[in-house]
């Protein structure tokens, strides 16, 4: 990734071009020229020197158009890559696990049975609900955990004062590579303006205005669908003082900002084709034994002391579909408060609750979040499984929200 530092400036004939830093090597510029084309006509590119400012820029060889583009291509996996990944698997999980799962590293179709064996082998201690969600996602979108497409991440659960660890929670995350893969399967898209890269001050001012934070570094991604011509962009930032994981391996604040920006751009371009309510992490610098050290809010690897994320929400639809176990109670003392009517609810009460939810604009996921995080309840498999005292509590909350 190029840490592009120039400003967008007017080039020849009033066209806008990108000037590259003076220390950009000739080999680097030549690689950019070879792997990109003109964003408008598809011609080959040329490297130019502005005679006035003595600065280099790359543009259409016909000097007719603005912008350059680079189509995303899924990386080609070589035999050496497969072998190296198998060795990494054995190193991380032991020779037994590596041998057992080696046959699944490059499967063309991720069946439910294969996904179940992989997930159970890698994350056997994870709760059934999270493993089921991972298996469903792998099977539905043909993703492979051994390719670091998905991760099950463990977090500490803290008390209300955030002073004592009282348990643990798990959540599922997508690798950024899996997000690109899912978008590329049905679409051909290209990166415009040499993105992903550092955002220019002009772009930051245009998009964020006076809301931009001066101590943040911002990544910018601009993509274009080759078939439809539709374009989408993403701009995201990260504090320069924020501690990040993987710095010793080359991870940077700019890289994390670009990961955030790319995820936003892809979500905007293909919103109906990406799994919803699933965080994305940067899988380049993640090691499976350490995947618990991730910030669930941003989806990136953080310093170890930053890992203080609360419990993940489980949607009712996934729970019903798989008939998995209920989420365990967070704390024993909280169960003592439940002394109300334990009798089951009626169909009419469920219908009334759904009507209130629709009026208040609340989805099943919103209700699951309320029950899990705010009320500290065990999330039931269906609304029909609620108790009368729970139904009364939820109705009161929704009525108060509606005024």
Q: Is residue 278 part of a domain?
A: no
Is residue 34 assigned to a domain? yes
Residue 48 has pLDDT above 90, yes or no: no
For the residues of 293-304, what is the DSSP string, one character each? Answer: -EETTTTEEB-G
pLDDT of 114 > 80? The answer is yes
Q: Please indicate, yes or no, if residue 169 is contained in any of the structural domains.
A: no
Q: Which pLDDT score is estimated for 333?
A: 41
Task: Looking at 270-345, list the stretches that DSSP marks H as alpha helix, in order from N- to C-terminal side.
Answer: 316-322, 332-335
Q: Is residue 43 part of a domain?
A: yes
* Average pLDDT along the chain: 74
Structural domains counted in the chain: 2
Burial of residue 242 (CB within 10 Å: 0-12, 13-18, 19+) is: middle
- Is 98 inside a domain boundary? no
* Whole-angstrom distance, CA of residue 347 vs CA of residue 212: 50
- Whether residue 283 has pLDDT greater than 70: no
Out of 35, 51, 68, pick the residue that ends a domain.
Answer: 68
Q: How far apart are CA 377 and CA 391, in angstroms?
A: 12
Residue 276 Ramachandran class (φ > 0 left, ψ -120 to 50 alpha, else beta):
beta
Q: Report the pLDDT value the prediction gives residue 331, as an integer from 0 to 100.
A: 44
Q: Which domain, by its residues, includes 382? A: 334-402
Instruction: For residue 371, name the pLDDT band (cuts at 50, 70, 90).
Output: confident
Q: How far is CA 132 from CA 125, 141, 172, 173, 274, in A?
A: 13, 14, 10, 13, 18
Percent of the chain with pLDDT over 70: 68
**319 within some domain:** no
What is the average pLDDT across 292-310? 41
Residue 67: DSSP 8-state: -
pLDDT of the residue at 321: 40
Q: Answer whether residue 47 is part of any domain.
A: yes
Neighbour-count burial of 309, counting CB atoms closer than 10 A to its CB (0-12 exposed, 13-18 middle, 19+ buried): buried
Point out which residues pair with 155 in neighbouring strands: 169
Average pLDDT score over residue span 163-170: 82
Q: Is the pLDDT of residue 168 over 80?
A: yes
Q: Are strands 150-158 and 45-50 parallel, antiparallel or unpaired?
A: unpaired
Comparing C-alpha atoms, which of 187, 158, 229 is closest to residue 73? 187
For residue 233, being part of any structural domain is answered with: no
Q: What is the CB neighbour count within 10 angstroms for residue 327?
A: 23
Query: Do residues 216 and 209 make contact, with C-beta atoms less than 8 angstroms apart?
Result: no
pLDDT at 323: 37
Does pLDDT of 154 surpass 70?
yes
List the structure tokens of 195.
């993105």
14-23, 169-178, 277-286: range with lowest mean pLDDT: 277-286
Confidence (pLDDT) at 273: 72
Which one of 35-49, 272-286, 299-313 scores highest in mean pLDDT?
35-49
Strands of the sheet containing 150-158, edge to edge, are 150-158, 165-175, 279-281
Task: Using only the alpha carbons of the chain, give its radius of gyration.
Answer: 25
Q: Which of 30, 46, 68 is the last residue of a domain?
A: 68
**Of 176-185, 295-304, 387-396, which range is least confident?**
295-304
More confidently predicted of 216 and 26: 216
Give the pLDDT of residue 254. Answer: 92
CB 349 within 8 A of CB 356: no
């Amino acid at each position: 990734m190029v840490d592009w530092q120039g400003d967008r400036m007017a080039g020849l004939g009033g066209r806008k071009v990108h000037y590259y830093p003076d220390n950009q090597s000739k080999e680097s510029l030549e690689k950019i020229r070879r792997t990109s084309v003109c964003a408008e006509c598809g011609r080959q590119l040329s490297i130019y020197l502005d005679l006035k400012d003595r600065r280099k820029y790359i543009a259409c060889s016909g000097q007719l158009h603005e912008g350059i583009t680079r189509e995303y291509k899924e990386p080609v996996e070589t035999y050496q890559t497969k072998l190296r990944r198998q060795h990494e698997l054995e190193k991380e999980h032991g020779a037994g696990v590596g041998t057992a799962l080696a046959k699944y590293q490059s499967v063309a179709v991720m069946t439910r049975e294969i996904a179940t064996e992989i997930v159970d082998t890698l994350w056997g201690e994870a709760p059934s609900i999270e493993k089921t969600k991972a298996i469903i996602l792998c099977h539905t979108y043909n993703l492979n955990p051994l390719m670091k497409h998905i991760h099950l991440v463990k977090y500490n659960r803290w008390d209300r004062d955030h002073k004592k660890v009282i348990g643990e929670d798990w959540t599922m995350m997508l690798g950024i590579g899996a997000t690109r893969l899912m978008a590329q399967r049905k679409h051909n898209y290209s990166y415009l303006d040499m993105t992903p890269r550092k955002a220019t001050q002009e772009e930051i001012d245009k998009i964020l205005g006076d809301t931009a934070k001066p101590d943040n570094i911002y990544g910018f991604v601009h993509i274009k669908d080759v078939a439809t011509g539709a374009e989408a962009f993403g701009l995201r930032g990260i504090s320069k003082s924020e501690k990040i994981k993987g710095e010793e391996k080359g991870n940077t604040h700019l890289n994390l900002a670009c990961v955030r920006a790319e995820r936003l751009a892809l979500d905007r371009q293909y919103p109906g084709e990406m799994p919803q309510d699933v965080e994305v992490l940067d899988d380049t610098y993640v090691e499976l034994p350490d995947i618990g050290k991730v910030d669930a809010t941003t989806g990136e690897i953080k310093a170890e002391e930053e890992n203080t994320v609360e419990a993940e929400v489980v949607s009712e639809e996934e729970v019903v579909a798989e008939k998995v176990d209920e989420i365990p109670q967070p704390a024993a003392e909280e169960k003592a408060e439940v002394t109300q009517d334990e009798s089951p609810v009626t169909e009419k009460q469920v219908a009334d609750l759904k009507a209130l939810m629709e009026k208040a604009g609340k989805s099943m996921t919103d209700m699951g979040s309320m029950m899990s995080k705010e009320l500290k309840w065990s999330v039931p498999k269906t609304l029909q499984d609620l108790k009368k005292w729970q139904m009364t509590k939820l109705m009161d909350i929704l009525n108060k929200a509606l005024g």
